[in-house]
Amino acid sequence: MNLKEAWQILQKNELKRTKNREVILEFFADNDRYLTASDVKDFIEENNPNISFDTIYRNLSTFTELGILEETELTGERHFRMHCDPGVHHHHFICTLCGITKNIPQCPMDLLSINLPNYEIEAHKFEVYGKCPGCIAS
């Protein structure tokens, strides 16, 4: 997803265009990988030293609810990234060093014949972890 689409979604939901939201979204647009709330805070503080955690977490949660960002849990911390292709279900390879991702288009739920009668399936998680070519090289 690009910045324009993100702002269209925000506008559609009557959310205001604020400086903080602009900076946060630009940061994700420029960084195609999973990032933490601290990463976002560190980046923003280069220019605006007075951003509060309230603002960061609230916006990250809002963006995730609207499908602008996607979220996962890595080593005990929430990580966020720009939602690659909203509407198209996919999974990720995730680099454990830099957080960069690579799409895995196939979904195990389509391939496995999971038979769970009387169970109610609500969600699933499939992620592959390792090192990306860039991190292996350096």
Q: Kindly list the residues in this chain that would bind a copy of itself in the complex (CB under 8 A).
A: 73, 76, 78, 93, 96, 102, 104, 106, 108-109, 111-114, 116, 118-133, 136
CB of 106 to a copy of itself, least distance (A): 5
| Residue 97 vs 114, nearer CB to DNA | 97
Asked if 110 interacts with DNA (CB under 7 A), we say no
User: What is the dihedral angle through the alpha carbons of 88, 90, 93, 98, rounded to the nearest 10 degrees?
Assistant: 40
| Residue 52 vs 114, nearer CB to a copy of itself | 114
Asked if 18 interacts with DNA (CB under 7 A), we say yes
Q: Determine if residue 136 is left, alpha or beta; phi over 0 gives left, psi from -120 to 50 gives alpha, anything else beta.
A: alpha
Collapsing DSSP to helix, strand or coil, 73 comes out as strand
| Residue 38 vs 106, nearer CB to DNA | 38
For residue 33, the partner it binds in a copy of itself, DNA, none, with Cβ less than 5 to 8 A by kind, is none
Collapsing DSSP to helix, strand or coil, 103 comes out as strand
Asked if 57 interacts with DNA (CB under 7 A), we say yes
CA angle 121, 85, 47 (to 5 degrees): 115
CB of 64 to DNA, least distance (A): 11
d(CA 26, CA 36): 15
